């Protein structure tokens, strides 16, 4: 029996347990997409390929396995690039499959001919073209292995049209054992390093933990909480890893972050890069005299630490945290740092009380923080929140907590605008039983706003809330070129596309509009709540780069 390249792709994806993929129809991938759906895999067709990559990104984060997207040749693949670059910057395992012009016509000016492999190389862990249909399962297997091994990241496979439509005999096809997440390597710390860490903790007076998305990819949230509670160390996270421990935990002091970093004498950097997001862990933001312990699965990343480490450990976050917790029992006690926690807790409590007064602002136009408060009070404890924009991204970060791992997404360290609605849709597909809310700026919404049509066509019941301040940013001095967008009826647009729409101008009307949106969601219908907010209310870009909570 003969199979063509498109059929082999579909069967290989099925063998790897793929249940959803995101795409736009187009040659030469159309047969591959049809064959994949013929294997019982759901295909979600979108309105822009960038959105397909972003949906796969959110799906990957929620499921802790690669998300899949497909695109036609030429512009279809180039449209994927921003979404794939976003996945690369956020270390997220997205597997992109792109069609390309026939390699048999390479260099002869074929339709949509461009070197897509080279284009994808800088923003993937591995980018490769497949020339032999019989080897497609091997390449797809390697794509899964590469995307999930070590520090996760995206992969691109290029399929020329003459490979996709070529027939090969089934007995010539190589079918490797599918990638098995249970067999993922989990390197541990040496006993000497474990002993060194425990000794450093015993000697410290003011330790803190700073964790990143490596905690999520290694499934280390339970292990991290066990270590935090055994040792009694205050913890902070990057934006991408919020919720690994519930943010109302007794050792979480969100508004005392600056004081904690300035005064800490021991800093644990766990599963995150020492990049601009944490100010490179450098003074004056961090104590110049503090000792630094870093746990990182990628040895190259560890060696490139911008600040000298007192101890660097190459290891899987979960495995190392379990080692540390076992070693800490009987040696470390939460009471050791009670005064340190009380110091941070006192500062945190006073700031929270002050913040609550600001959040209750009843002014018109609506202050974005009032909108955030209404959303905070409306969300389920295990809701998935996606925040995307300029001002609203910062205001949301400061005011809306997260209580579950992988349940918070945003523009990431690449600062990509327009991620909100696509990520919300991908998240809802990955976790259909969870409440999913996207909090958008009106500028960022416009970039992928047509995905509201995708939501309506596929019955993806998310709620999108727009903080509509009439432009890309706040503009109190009215000097920013190209800032103004005007106040648009995005709710009417949503209704025209088949979604539920709400328009809100008064703060006291926000909650009722959210409740009506929720009822629409229960009926399987997406909803958009368009809220007029104050164009003069600005959040600083410093808060963005330093992830102030």
State how beta strands 94-100 and 67-71 pair. parallel
Indicate whether 497 pLDDT > 50.
yes
Confidence of residue 543 (pLDDT cuts 50, 70, 90): very low
What is the rounded average pLDDT for all residues in the chain?
A: 94
Confidence of residue 408 (pLDDT cuts 50, 70, 90): very high
15 Cα distance to chain centroid: 26
- 8-state DSSP, 150: S
3-state secondary structure of 18: coil
Q: Where is 21: in which H helix or E strand?
A: strand 20-23
pLDDT of residue 546: 36
State how beta strands 408-409 and 235-237 pair. unpaired
Indicate whether 533 pLDDT > 90.
yes
- Cite the beta strand spans of 254-319 per DSSP E: 266-270, 291-296, 311-314
Residue 68's DSSP bridge partners are: 95
Per the model's pLDDT, the better-predicted residue between 279 and 63 turns out to be: 63
The mean pLDDT value for 485-489 works out to 96
Contact 310, 293 (CB under 8 A): yes
CA gap 197, 309 in Å, rounded: 12
The domain made up of 362-545 is a member of CATH 3.40.50.970: yes
CA gap 69, 86 in Å, rounded: 14
Indicate whether 549 pLDDT > 80.
no
Q: Which of 141, 153, 152, 151 is nearest to 180 (CA)?
A: 141
pLDDT of residue 277: 85
pTM: 0.95
Lowest-confidence pick of 247-251, 284-288, 440-444: 284-288
Task: Report domain extents, the chain.
Answer: 2-183, 191-347, 362-545
Separation of first and last alpha carbons in the chain: 59
pLDDT tens-digit map of 102-129: 976 777 777 788 999 999 999 999 999 9
- Cite the beta strand spans of 222-287 per DSSP E: 235-237, 266-270
pLDDT tens-digit map of 500-520: 999 999 999 999 999 999 999
The mean pLDDT value for 481-496 works out to 95
Indicate whether 547 pLDDT > 80.
no
pLDDT of residue 13: 98
Indicate whether 545 pLDDT > 80.
no
The domain made up of 191-347 is a member of CATH 1.10.10.10: no
Report the topology of domain 2-183. Answer: Rossmann fold (3.40.50)
pLDDT of residue 540: 64
- Positive or negative, the CA dihedral 531, 535, 536, 542 is positive
Identical fold, 2-183 and 191-347:
yes
Biggest CA pair distance of the chain: 73
The mean pLDDT value for 527-533 works out to 98
CA gap 160, 171 in Å, rounded: 22
pLDDT tens-digit map of 429-449: 999 999 999 999 999 999 999
Indicate whether 300 pLDDT > 60.
yes
Torsional class of 17: left (φ above 0), alpha (ψ -120 to 50), beta (otherwise)? left
Phi, psi of 42 (to 5 degrees): -75, 125
Confidence of residue 548 (pLDDT cuts 50, 70, 90): very low
Q: Which of 59, 74, 75 is nearest to 19 (CA)?
A: 59
* HSE toward the beta carbon, residue 165, CA cutoff 13 A: 14
CA gap 440, 421 in Å, rounded: 8
Q: Which of 93, 324, 87, 83 is nearest to 196 (CA)?
A: 324
pLDDT of residue 525: 98
Q: What is the CA radius of gyration of the chain?
A: 24
The mean pLDDT value for 310-321 works out to 97
pLDDT of residue 487: 96
Contact 53, 24 (CB under 8 A): no
Indicate whether 297 pLDDT > 60.
yes
Indicate whether 544 pLDDT > 50.
no
Indicate whether 312 pLDDT > 50.
yes
Cis peptide before 365 (omega within 30 of 0): yes
Indicate whether 541 pLDDT > 70.
no
Query: What residues have CB less than 8 Å from 113, skipping those under 6 apart?
Result: 74, 100, 101, 105, 106
Residues 196-201: contacts with CB under 8 Å, at least 24 apart: 196/311, 197/293, 197/311, 197/313, 197/324, 197/327, 198/324, 198/327, 198/328, 198/331, 198/332, 200/266, 200/291, 200/293, 200/310, 200/311, 201/231, 201/233, 201/266, 201/328, 201/332
Indicate whether 68 pLDDT > 60.
yes
SS3 content of the chain, % helix, strand, coil (to 5): 45, 15, 35
pLDDT of residue 107: 74
């Amino acid at each position: 029996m003969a199979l063509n390249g498109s059929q082999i792709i579909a069967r290989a994806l099925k063998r790897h347990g793929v249940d959803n993929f995101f795409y736009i129809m187009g040659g030469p991938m159309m047969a591959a997409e049809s064959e994949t759906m013929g294997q019982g895999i759901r295909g979600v067709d979108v309105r822009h390929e960038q959105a397909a990559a972003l949906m796969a990104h959110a799906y990957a984060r929620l499921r802790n396995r690669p998300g899949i997207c497909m695109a036609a040749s030429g512009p279809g693949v180039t449209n994927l690039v921003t979404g794939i670059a976003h996945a690369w910057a956020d270390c997220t395992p997205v597997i992109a499959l792109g069609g390309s012009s026939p390699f048999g016509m390479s260099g002869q000016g074929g339709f949509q001919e461009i070197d897509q492999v080279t284009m994808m190389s800088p923003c993937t862990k591995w980018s490769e073209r497949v020339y032999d249909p019989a080897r497609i399962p091997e390449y797809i297997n390697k794509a899964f292995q590469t995307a999930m091994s070590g520090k996760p990241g995206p992969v691109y496979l290029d399929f020329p049209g003459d490979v996709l439509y070529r027939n090969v005999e089934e007995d010539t096809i190589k079918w490797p054992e599918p990638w098995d997440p249970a067999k993922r390597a989990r390197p541990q710390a040496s006993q000497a390093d474990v002993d060194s860490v425990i000794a450093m903790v015993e000697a410290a007076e003011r330790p803190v933990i700073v964790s990143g998305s490596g905690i999520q990819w290694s499934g280390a949230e339970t292990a991290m909480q066990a270590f935090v509670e055994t040792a009694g160390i205050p913890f902070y996270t990057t934006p991408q890893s919020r919720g690994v421990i519930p943010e109302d935990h007794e050792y979480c002091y969100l508004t005392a972050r600056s004081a904690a970093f300035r005064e800490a004498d021991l800093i644990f950097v766990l599963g995150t890069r020492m990049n601009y997001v944490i100010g490179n862990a450098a003074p004056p933001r961090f104590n110049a005299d503090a000792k630094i312990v870093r746990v990182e699965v990628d040895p190259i990343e560890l060696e490139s630490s911008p600040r000298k480490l007192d101890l660097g450990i190459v290891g899987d976050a979960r495995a190392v945290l379990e080692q540390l917790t076992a070693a800490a029992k009987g040696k470390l006690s939460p009471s050791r740092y009670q005064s340190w926690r009380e110091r941070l807790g006192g500062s945190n409590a006073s700031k929270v009380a002050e913040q609550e007064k600001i959040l209750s602002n009843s002014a018109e136009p609506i202050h974005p923080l009032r909108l955030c408060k209404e959303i905070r009070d409306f969300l389920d404890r295990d809701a998935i929140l996606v925040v995307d924009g300029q001002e609203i991204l910062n205001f949301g970060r400061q005011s809306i907590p997260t209580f579950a791992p992988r349940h918070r997404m945003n523009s990431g360290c690449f600062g990509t605008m327009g991620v909100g609605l696509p990520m919300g849709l991908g998240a809802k597909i990955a976790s259909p039983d969870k409440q999913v809310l996207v909090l958008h700026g009106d500028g960022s919404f416009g970039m992928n706003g047509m995905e509201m049509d995708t939501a309506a066509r596929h019955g993806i019941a998310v709620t999108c809330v727009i903080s509509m301040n009439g432009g890309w940013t706040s503009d109190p001095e009215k000097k920013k070129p190209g800032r103004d967008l005007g106040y648009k009826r995005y709710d009417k647009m949503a209704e025209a596309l088949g979604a539920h729409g709400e328009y809100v101008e008064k703060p006291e009307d926000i909650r009722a509009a959210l409740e009506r949106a929720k009822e629409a969601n229960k009926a399987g219908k997406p909803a958009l709540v368009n809220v007029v907010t104050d164009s003069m209310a600005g959040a600083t870009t410093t808060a963005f780069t330093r992830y102030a909570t």
